Amino acid sequence: MENPGQQQSAEPFAALRPFQSKDQCRLMNMEFPMRFPRHHHPDCFPMLQTVLPANRMLLADHAARTLMLVDTKKDFPETIIALDSFKTPEWRVLLLLLEAYPQGVAHAQLLAALHNHSPAYGREQLTVARQDKQLRELLRPLRETVTNLRRRLEPFGLSIAIQYAKGYVISFRT
């Protein structure tokens, strides 16, 4: 018997279509079925996995800064449903958000990740910006990055929601 909560969470993924052929996967420079080097194992996100449909898996390839949504039907090799590569700053922000799910990530942490600094540096920058009334300007690159990530996460059935005056959190498109 299926879990009613699981059926409900699968709805955002109903419109996603897998690639139609092995050739389309090869065009994306991926082997079919997917094979990773022995020393390299892509990350999956356990908390996100609990709300994905049973036959879907979200994988992160850190070396290639690539996010994949795959169909893991038992009677067929993995089929790539969505695939995208990210620039390094976007990747750092995205990983923080994915790993924190279902919790949000504070502006200070995201800002630090965006600029490859420590969270303490991000907090310090936010404090100074608040005092100088430059917060909006300081957060502009982060807002632009999140806007770009939202657009690129659509094929995965994901989005990024704002937590007012706190930060951002991964959400599911409905």
| pLDDT for residue 80 | 87
Which of helix, strand or coil describes residue 159? strand
Amino acid letter for position 113: A
Is 40's pLDDT higher than 70? no
Residue of higher predicted confidence among 98 and 49: 98
- List CB contacts of 99: < 8 A, sequence separation 6 or more: 45
| Nearest Cα to Cα of residue 52 among 72, 32, 80 | 72
Residue of higher predicted confidence among 152 and 43: 152
Is 75's pLDDT higher than 90? no
What is the mean pLDDT of the segment spanning 132-158? 95
pTM of the entire predicted model: 0.75
Structural domains present in the chain: 4-85 (no CATH), 88-172 (1.10.10.10)
pLDDT digits (tens, 9 = 90+) for 11-22: 433 333 443 333
Is 141's pLDDT higher than 80? yes
What backbone torsions phi and psi does residue 22 show, to the nearest 5 degrees?
Answer: -65, -35
* Distance between CA atoms of residues 68 and 66, nearest Å: 7
Sheet holding 66-71, edge to edge: 43-44, 56-61, 66-71, 79-85
Q: Is 80 left (phi over 0), alpha (psi -120 to 50) or beta?
A: beta
